[in-house]
Amino acid sequence: MIKRVEESREKEEILSQMEPLIAEWFDQKFDSLTEPQGYAIPLIHNRKNVLVSSPTGSGKTLTAFLSIINELFKLEKKDELEDKIYCVYVSPLKALANDIHKNLEEPLKEIRELAEEKDMKIPKIKTAIRSGDTPQRERRKMVDDPPHIFITTPESLALSLSSPKFREKFKDVQYFINDEIHDIASSKRGVYLSLNTERLEEHVDGEMTRIGLSATQAPIEELAKFLGGYKDGEPREVNIVEVMGEKNLDLSVISPVDDMTLLPYEVVNSRMYDRLKEMVESHRTTLIFTNTRSGAENVAYKLKDRGIEGVAAHHGSLSKETRIEVEDDLKNGDLKAAVSSTSLELGIDVGYIDLVVQVNSPKTVAKGLQRVGRAGHTIGETSKGRMIVFDKDDLLECTVLTRKAYQHDIDRVSIPTDNLDVLSQGLIGMSIEHRWDVDKAYEMVKRAYCYRDLPKDDFMNTLEYLAGTQFENVYPKIWYNEDEGIFGKKGGVQMLYYMNVGTIPSDSNYQVYSEKGVPLGNLSEKFVERLSKGDVFVLGSHSYEFLHTRGTKVFVKDASGKKPTVPSWTGEMLPRSYDLSVGIGEFRRKLSERLDDDDVTEWLMEEYRIDEGSAQTIISYFKEQLGVIDELPTDKKILLEGHIGQDGNYNVIFHASYGRKTNDTLSRAYAYKISDKFNCSANVSITDNNFMITTKKKIPLEQIAGLLSSDEVEGILKKSVKDTELFKQRFRHC
């Protein structure tokens, strides 16, 4: 049962239920409770499942841990605190897990010091982190001396559950914390975590208290069900604490020039960096977000090139040491600006930030609010954000996104279900644990929210596929005894599982080292393939000259002051959310209707919080398009355009502002129908605003318009995707 919490408690009442030492520490440290703390702490204290959804900086982390620390101290006081895991904390990011580990140590240290002052027994609460960065010796140490609070990532949790010596440490777990749940629930990582949460529950004597921490998100009820899973066919009880936001928002869109339609891209791009420099110089500490790692490197390099000192890039391709150094410099106020792709957008403590700048669109309202919320991080402060753009379509996107942010119109999360590729990995992991009764395994899988409606036939087909009973060319990864209804691990599968766990595609990366062997980061295999001796590239906002490779190691030397000679590597662009995409279509429709009004510039500036240059650019952009064609694509209308390219091929462009994911789906269905009907090959290109189908022959647009109906899309997609590179690539995720 999912229910919203209506009753909040005062600070005095909550602290009266705590151990005196913990209560005194909290009272000395904080003047009052934040709103989510007043609602959620009493529930966690009473071992109720809770999902806390509130803005960045509202004290969610302490909300989750305060009652747990209190319970551990109570056990220590009675000499009943044992060497076992009481709490499992899961974070989607290694950097966030590291940060939580550090931030937990501070209150524990202060509580120990307070106990020492009062001549009380000093609590010895242990925390430890296991992630891909954790050395093997520390992992072995956890087996012999397990932490009371175990901090990990989804992938490392899966590995821990399949580790014979370590999984027995989970039998006394009492609390499970899923941090940044909104960030993971909409992906296959979330599907795998929901399954592994139930695997963890299976090992626990009793039942875990589940605590979810989320930025403002929708639909919150579905996230609560994701957190709680199912029991006896019904959602477990989860209490929702949703705080819509006490923080003030100062968010606007900036155009680097008066009208982007009048100037070439190179000029607009250069002016953008000039404006960015001005913003950085007029603030104490600025956090800049781009959507790709290469973008982060490029922005950091351009700011340094313009004379700004104290600028650093932060992203997942940098070494752990470099990332931690940037985080510490930010926290200590030693950086003027940090530039990140996604690695600093979640709850990592980065100290005081007075401005967040988003370069081009963050692609979703939720992500935009999450990033801007890093400025003025605490309750009561204003989160100041600026979206600076140098592309007309991005300007439209940010304009609509800003208005939705102020209206609190958040993109809806779509949680995947019944993914059989993820189930396959889960079943292999389960087989490593012990022999399973098939019916009991099916019941356990169905307790995961993402598999609550999994048909038994799909489960059995997956099991038989893994056992190699269906196809001769599929080698068995588990053994399955159909007569006895049991399955277990196959010899050699353990290493296969350990090397491939998780749903993040494993790219082949090269480690980058200085001449002296200092690790600097990593580069993709495709990027390294293009390098020649003497090439200069940017990594970590520094220029390096390529020397040579040795195995999968790249050796470089410092090239400060030299300009890059090769382009940066590229990453996959973030797809725009469907809800934001529909909003852009609505905006096109509304603006088209009032484009000739005398007050249209003022209307745009007031309603959408954009500057005059942005408003003028949008108006000019619309008039430019309507000068060529009578109408524009909207949320209710797809526009078809046909033209012959320089290569002689015929291109059909579907102007459909539904976002990359929807357009990818539609493009494949249309390409299949066009190939089938007109007996020709069809190639596809997609963006968030359109998709293009290229053929060798000219096809009348009138025949394409009615080619596909809604009720046949799914069936056609299944046919069109089979045997494609996309189909093969998706299997790399599991």
Which CATH number belongs to the domain containing residue 265 in this structure? 3.40.50.300
Domain annotation covers residue 120: yes
The residue range of the domain holding 647 is 639-733
- Does 354 share its domain with 448? no
- Does 344 share its domain with 394? yes
**Which of 186, 219, 242 marks a domain boundary?**
242
- Does 214 share its domain with 332? no
Mean pLDDT of all residues in 101-123: 86
Give 247's pLDDT tier (boundaries 50, 70, 90): low
Mean pLDDT of all residues in 669-690: 89
**Which of 483, 500, 517 marks a domain boundary?**
500
Domain annotation covers residue 349: yes
Domain annotation covers residue 633: no
- Does 202 share its domain with 306? no
Task: Choose among 158, 150, 203, 155: nearest CA to 177.
Answer: 150
- Strands 553-558 vs 639-644: parallel, antiparallel or unpaired: unpaired
Tally the domains of the chain.
5
pLDDT digits (tens, 9 = 90+) for 250-284: 999 999 999 998 999 999 999 999 999 999 999 99
Domain annotation covers residue 399: yes
- Does 141 share its domain with 18? yes
CATH of residue 645: 3.30.1360
Mean pLDDT of all residues in 198-225: 93
- Does 311 share its domain with 350? yes
Question: Among 67-81, 394-408, 456-470, 569-583, whose mean pLDDT is lowest?
Answer: 569-583
- Does 452 share its domain with 399? no
Structure tokens at 600: 């249209």
Give 324's pLDDT tier (boundaries 50, 70, 90): confident
- Does 256 share its domain with 305? yes
**570 has a pLDDT exceeding 70:** no
pLDDT of 104 reads 86
Domain annotation covers residue 621: no
Task: Choose among 47, 311, 341, 362: nearest CA to 176.
Answer: 47
Domain annotation covers residue 564: no
Q: What's the whole-model pTM score? A: 0.81
Alpha carbons 345 and 252: distance in angstroms, whole number: 19
Mean of the per-residue pLDDT values of the chain: 89
Task: Choose among 680, 579, 595, 582: nearest CA to 630.
Answer: 595
- Does 224 share its domain with 282? no
- Does 471 share its domain with 549? no
**Which of 381, 407, 433 marks a domain boundary?**
407
488 strand-pairing partners:
479
Alpha carbons 170 and 162: distance in angstroms, whole number: 12
Domain annotation covers residue 613: no
- Does 314 share its domain with 426? no
- Does 486 share its domain with 373? no
pLDDT digits (tens, 9 = 90+) for 36-63: 999 999 999 999 999 999 877 778 889 9
Contact between 184 and 190 under an 8 Å Cβ cutoff? The reply is yes
Mean pLDDT of all residues in 13-30: 93
Structure tokens at 718: 């299944």
**456 has a pLDDT exceeding 90:** yes
Query: pLDDT exceeding 90 applies to what percent of the chain?
Result: 60
Domain annotation covers residue 371: yes
Q: Which residue has the higher pLDDT, 356 or 686?
A: 356
To which H or E segment does residue 149 belong? Answer: strand 149-152
**246 has a pLDDT exceeding 70:** no
